[in-house]
Amino acid sequence: MQYNIVFTVKFVAVFGAFLCSFGDALYEDQIGKFDWKKELLGRVDHAVFDSSVSLNKHGFVTTEKGAIACINMRTGEVKWRRILPESDRKITYLAHVRDGLVVVSSKGMARLWDSASGILKWEVDLSVAAENRESFIVIHAATLERSYSEKTLLVILSKTGLHTIAISLTKRKPEIQSVLLNQELTDGDHDKIFVDSQNGKIIHLQLQSGVRLEVTVYDADNLSSPKQVTISTSWLESLAMTALLEDDTLLYVSNDVGAIHLVDLENGNTQATVPLLRLGIKDPVTMMSSNEEEDVAVHGSDVILSHGEGQMSLIKITGSTVKLMQTKIIPEVSDVVFKQKGTEVYAYFASQINNVVSIATVNVKTGKYNDDLTINVTLPPHTGTLEKVYVNMFLKRNTPVGFRALLQTTDETVFLVTQPNRIAWQRQEAIASVVHATMLDLPLSDVDAGIEAEFEESGKTKLMEMFFKRVSAQGSQLISWFNNILRDLKEDTLFTHKTRDPLIQVEGLTRDPFSLHKMIVLVTKSGVLFGMDSLTGEIVWRYFLSQLKGRQLHFFVQRTTAHYPHPPQALLLGLDSSQSQPPIVLAVNPITGVVIDLSADFINLESPVIQAMPFPVPDNHHLRPLIMLDADLNIHLVPDTSDIRAILSELNLYMYDVNVSNGLIRGFSLSEKNSAQLIWSMHLPNTHKIIKFSGKPALEKVDSMGRPLADRSVIYKYLNPNVIAILSESVDDAVDRSSLLLYVIDAVTGAVIHSTIHKKASGPVHMVHSENWLIYSYWNAKARRNEIASFEFYEGKKQFNATVFSSFQTRPDPIVMQQAYIFSAGISCIGVSQTDKGITSRQILFGLKKGVLFGLPRRFFDPRRPLHATERHREEGLVQYMPEIPIPPELYLSYNLTVEGMERIYTAPAALESTSLVLATGLDLFFTRTQPSKMFDVLKEDFDHLLIAVVLLGMFAAALITRRMAQVKQLNKAWR
């Protein structure tokens, strides 16, 4: 117990010291006022519904990102969510069993979760039984639900064995049985297990060399003595064309022979061979349903064959006779699902034509198509195509069954569709993999824009005309203000807050005076673009282009909303990762989401684009053209006009390119019109590979050129905008020989400004590079802890050239100051706050791996922090050096929320100098704002207007009263 006390004391001491110096935590009543969090899941892998017979509220999904979630099927909200460990994220199997949720990971962890609360009931590590635990992989799994006993059997096929886990309601601990297979399975494609819930059997199918099927039948209660049958078949490419039927019959379709074969599993003899032509099937069979369902009893002895152009044939097998029940033409079928509830068995066909998805239903027992049980929904525009359908069938009182379906589309959206033809909700899971985010100012309101327009055409109109225009514009402003007041009075909302954010009182998507309300543009990995309202996190627009998937996406804002009447414009550049396809270039209006595809102009590009950068100056339409450099050093411009080419030749621009794969860093001059010249290049030693590089933010605003010291002199910052920092990690990753190499390079001249080596250190590194400082985190391999290195560059006490910086001037080498600190939490990303004029001190933002967004003032990373602080140091605002950086919960920007899987932090300035907007992306999306030097330019929220008014009025009244009293007293004195 003693250590606990010591620990608390230390904690309290650290906190105490901290709060004295900052006290900059949130107030509890500020929760949710300006921050919001979107809890996301990622691309859905598996989905199941509550297995109860009647309609139930909950559905469960697992995703690519290792999330297991319970979703409320009425609203689409996440009820609970669990994230699997990074080392074991892939989920092979998901099932809902009575009141529990079974999840089997590919590395052999089987877990049962309580479906209501999400608390773990038990977990079983199946790999324990295996000899080689490293290569243990689960291939397939199924659930055997036996109606007569209370046991439910989970059947798992791994590469080395077959395992069953008996889940029983009475016993807490599951019973596990395992048998080893004769030989280790090569991959999962040729093996499949089926279960027969009626007879309590487990059947393992293995396709060997295309003409032999190995069938092993196990008794579910006793795995030890399986029956093995080898069936020689005509050519079978995969197991997709085989089906197991109820009474130990194997059915397979061979398109080569053009026949359906029935095989008895008992002895392996072929019972019947029925030519497809006799059933009226002329075209080769393309898909056979019933394969998806693991339980043989679900589809019984019925199979649906899809052939020709959307022809669906329901085939019934009784004994050795094969009968065609019905054929219907359903074009573009993407998925067929069998569902059984009680005695009802239905098959569902999901198809998509353009953006209309329809789900048709057939009663398998009678072979009748049921038109009442059809859902037709129109998916919203910019949605991908149907990928997977999960059907939830339930029994109803008057009609036998009802159903609803979870649709998953290629743009990673999940829809729930219900009868009659309704989309109940949708979840945009693409947002869980954001690759780029930008926060843009909203456009001005129409009235304000009118005044802006006046300036735009000021050269053309006459003085009187301009005067009248101005008067009318301001008149209309006044009228609209009155109208607003009147409307508020009518609606009785004059003194109420219009939005939940106390500082944003302008409704709708127009700019507020503090410019705190922004449009967030998200570019996602799956090729979906989102426009999001920063106030609520609602999606304003979306755009989907399937070709963007898998490409490297870059987003450049060319024109902001500040240039009325020109619309804002941004460019999305999608580069092919393998560099074989031409780039995709999209011109996006970031406010409205209108996209113009410019890719056609670049279709004939001969070599891949290696680098792109927007112009540092805008053209005469306030547009910053994009320069693209291809591998043959040709320059391409978007838009490409002769004017812009002329500007380019005057600009004297330079570009750099870092090739991470071969360690080559190059600098180019763009002084000639059509091609770039290589001016310098540098090869990193081949013992190291580049893991991170970062330039300074373009067009960064720096307020002060130097720092005043305690002796009243000034040390000037080295404000070279062309500096890039390159960090490389040693190829040798042994603890003793690992190292990190830092190069700080002037990207114009190629001059190395500074270089450092960290011995016994390795990645991952996260870096922030701005003004005259550089901060990055790395892993100290020897001491096994995260550390942060901080660098500052100074010119010295004299400024070389105060007006303009040129990399070509020979100036003295900058003074480099550096310090390192211990950071006791895992870091997933680092960012820095940004403000309008750059006056406010910076805040370093950390995305911690434990799901916390943490902000610390930059002065904690000041490399001039002294070992022993004196009065002079305190005067300069230097904190005494402590090796460990404190991480108190008071400075969590995300307070008690968990922001899972953070990947990047984006910041944007507001018009308020004190405030910076922060967006953290990753699995979750979190938006907030931060005031690194407290809110110095707006009255505090808790400013007591009433108290001040009362005090002032009181003073006024007291002054009046005392004046009167004094007069009376003097009068009395005079009379005396």
Binding residues (CB under 8 A) for another protein: these are 3-4, 7-8, 11, 15, 19, 23, 25-29, 80, 82-88, 107, 109, 111, 117-123, 125, 127, 133-134, 783-785, 822, 824-826, 848-851, 883-884, 889-890, 892, 895-898, 942, 944, 947
Nearest distance from residue 827's CB to another protein, in Å?
A: 9
Q: How far is the CB of 619 from another protein (least distance, A)?
A: 47
Which residues, at least 6 apart from 736, have a Cβ–Cβ distance to it below 8 Å? Answer: 760, 782
Nearer to another protein, 698 or 951 (CB): 951
Burial environment of residue 889 by CB neighbours within 10 A (0 to 12, 13 to 18, 19 or more): exposed
Token pair belonging to 56: 């139930």
Min dist CB 518 to another protein, Å, is 25
Q: Which is nearer to another protein, 672 or 884 (CB)?
A: 884
Nearest residue to 433 (alpha-carbon basis) of 926, 68, 925, 70: 925
Strand partners, 142: 155
Q: Name which of 11 and 467 has its Cβ closer to another protein.
A: 11
Minimum CB distance to another protein smaller for 172 or for 798: 172
The DSSP result for 59-80, as a single string, is EEEEETTSEEEEEETTT--EEE
Please state the closest distance from residue 122 (CB atom) to another protein, in A: 8
Q: Which is nearer to another protein, 676 or 853 (CB)?
A: 853
Tokens of 549: 């998937």
Residues 722 and 679: beta-carbon distance below 8 Å = no
CB-nearer residue toward another protein: 37 or 549: 37
Q: In one letter, which amino acid is 237?
A: E
Per the CB < 8 A criterion, the answer to whether 110 and 102 are in contact is yes
Strand order in the sheet with 539-544: 434-441, 518-524, 528-533, 539-544
Cα 362 from chain centroid?
A: 39
Least distance to another protein, CB of residue 849, Å:
4
Please, which residue, 10 or 396, has the CB nearer to another protein? 10
Q: Are 138 and 108 in contact (CB under 8 A)?
A: yes
**From CA 70, how far away is CA 903, in angstroms rounded?**
24
Q: Is 477 within 8 Å of 447 (Cβ atoms)? A: yes
Closer Cβ to another protein, 47 or 885, answer by number: 885
Query: Please, what is the minimum distance in Å from the beta carbon of residue 908 to another protein?
Result: 24
Taking the complex as a whole, the smallest distance from the CB of residue 57 to another protein amounts, in Å, to 18
Closest approach, Cβ 527 to another protein, in A, equals 28
Token pair for residue 442? 């909203």
Alpha carbon distances (Å) from 641 to 187, 625, 653: 56, 10, 18
Pick from 178, 219, 181, 176: which is nearest to 201 by CA? 219
Quickly list DSSP for 953-968: HHHHHHHHHHHHHHHH
Q: 176 or 702, CB closer to another protein? A: 176
What is the closest distance, in whole angstroms, from the C-beta atom of residue 150 to another protein in the complex?
Answer: 21
570: closest CA among 510, 614, 610?
614
Dist. CA 199–CA 219, nearest whole Å: 9
Closer residue to another protein, CB minimum distance, 70 or 243: 70
Minimal CA–CA distance to 243: which of 303, 198, 313? 303
Tell which residue, 311, 608, 306, 559, has the closest CA to residue 441: 559
Nearer to another protein, 4 or 809 (CB): 4
C-alpha to C-alpha distance for 832 and 67, rounded to whole angstroms: 29
Comparison of 488 and 890: residue with beta carbon closer to another protein: 890
> Contact, 512 vs 506, CB < 8 A?
yes
Residue 20: DSSP 8-state: H
Nearer to another protein, 538 or 941 (CB): 941
Least distance CB 86 / another protein (angstroms): 5
CB 422 within 8 A of CB 416: no
CB of 17 to another protein, least distance (A): 15
For another protein, the closer of residues 27 and 467 by Cβ is 27
Please provide the size of the chain in residues: 976
| Residue 297 DSSP SS3 | helix
Q: Which residues pair with 629 in a beta bridge?
A: 611, 635
The least CB distance from residue 710 to another protein, in Å, is 28
Could you check whether the bond before residue 420 is cis, i.e. omega within 30 degrees of 0? yes
d(CA 482, CA 918): 35
> Closer CB to another protein, residue 122 or residue 425?
122
Distance (Å, whole) CA 972 – CA 976: 6
Which residues lie closer than 8 Å to 609 by C-beta, 6 or more apart?
A: 573, 575, 583, 628, 629, 630, 631, 636
Could you tell me the smallest distance in angstroms from the CB atom of residue 776 to another protein? 18
Q: Closer to another protein at the Cβ: 759 or 785?
A: 785
Please state whether beta strands 884-885 and 815-823 pair in parallel, antiparallel, or not at all (unpaired): parallel
Complex with another protein: residue 167 or 315, whichever CB lies closer: 167
In the complex, minimum distance from the CB of residue 49 to another protein, in angstroms, rounded to a whole number: 22
In one-letter notation, the amino acid at residue 869 is: A
Q: Least Å distance between CB 85 and another protein?
A: 4
Distance of closest approach, residue 183 Cβ to another protein, in angstroms: 24
| Sheet-wide strand order for 843-848 | 827-832, 843-848, 852-857
User: Closest distance between another protein and the C-beta of residue 889, in Å?
Assistant: 5
